[in-house]
Structure 1
């Protein structure tokens, strides 16, 4: 079973096999986590996105690129649903976590760091985003041994830790 934890920090600084990027459909960089990963990873990440995803990526799907200058080995990009644009199917959000773990397995990754997908500029209600993340990561069969959710602020960190504690996994 995958060990799941939460850390307070910057996802671009995580020393894991895979960093998960909350990407947009175009796969050409953007704001929030996506912008931070592209900025820290350097031009190699965007070049690999263009080569691997010429037509972008569907919501709920995932694929990998190099990590460029990041301390991780790979970036797994996944496109979360945009609550603010009316994309409110929780199955799509859960698919992001499941597909990211499947891609990590294809790569042979042992460790992975997730942002809280769709809970930023896409506006997914935070409590539900946390529940979907934890539930899906813990219920997805995977060879990944260590997964972490990276919280950028103390409030989110506390909320994720409380949710983990409530499940008896924190």
Structure 2
């Protein structure tokens, strides 16, 4: 697929990821998968107890989710059919492999979406909240990995970057406009 095709498949919105009518949303989870603060807590609250039960089953089976990896559950009460949980790195100045671990989060989420032939996938900022990853640097990683994936793969057909605030939306829009 051409990069122009990839460009038309990447969108940016500002708002609440738990309300988006997409095939799957990504949860910026912690390694326990049991919910937490920020977007993780919001997704767990909106999805209801079925999501927590599925996360507990994954935890019992494999001990949670490692940094850079991703697992999939159903969406519970969310408009999204699925939730792909990924654990981003805690920012430590970027010298301990954080950019590659963050890139791995995006690639693994996109891979799971492609395996399920998902039509649409929405990402929040991964690691930019309490994990302290600088928003501009995280947006650059997200934009690069998503553009590269979309240029080479049929699924997901559409990816949405969901910004919580104006600054993040502007950063995502800049990334989405790259060719």
Q: Structure 2 matches for 1:1-170, cutoff 5 A?
A: 1=1, 2=6, 3-54=9-60, 55-83=63-91, 88-140=97-149, 141-142=152-153, 143-165=155-177, 167-168=178-179
Q: How much has 1:84 moved relative to structure 2?
A: 5.2
Any unmatched runs of 5+ in structure 2?
Answer: none
Output the CA distance in 2 between the equivalents of 1:157 and 1:98.
Answer: 21
Query: What secondary structure does 1:149 align onto?
Result: strand
**Is the contact between residue 54 and residue 73 of structure 2 (CA under 8 Å) also seen in structure 1?**
yes
* Count of aligned pairs: 167
Q: How much has 1:157 moved relative to structure 2?
A: 0.8
Output the CA distance in 2 between the equivalents of 1:37 and 1:164.
Answer: 24
CA RMSD of aligned residues (A): 1.6
Any unmatched runs of 5+ in structure 1?
Answer: none
Relative distance call for 1:92 and 1:117 in structure 2 (3 A) is: same
Q: How much has 1:160 moved relative to structure 2?
A: 1.4
Normalized against structure 1, the TM-score is what? 0.92
**Is the contact between residue 82 and residue 88 of structure 1 (CA under 8 Å) also seen in structure 2?**
no
Q: 1:88-135 CA distances to partner (integer Å, 9 max, x unpaired)?
A: 521100000000011111222110000011111111011110000010
**Is the contact between residue 103 and residue 141 of structure 2 (CA under 8 Å) also seen in structure 1?**
yes
**Is the contact between residue 26 and residue 86 of structure 2 (CA under 8 Å) also seen in structure 1?**
yes
Output the CA distance in 1 between the equivalents of 2:12 and 2:59.
Answer: 30
Normalized against structure 2, the TM-score is what? 0.88
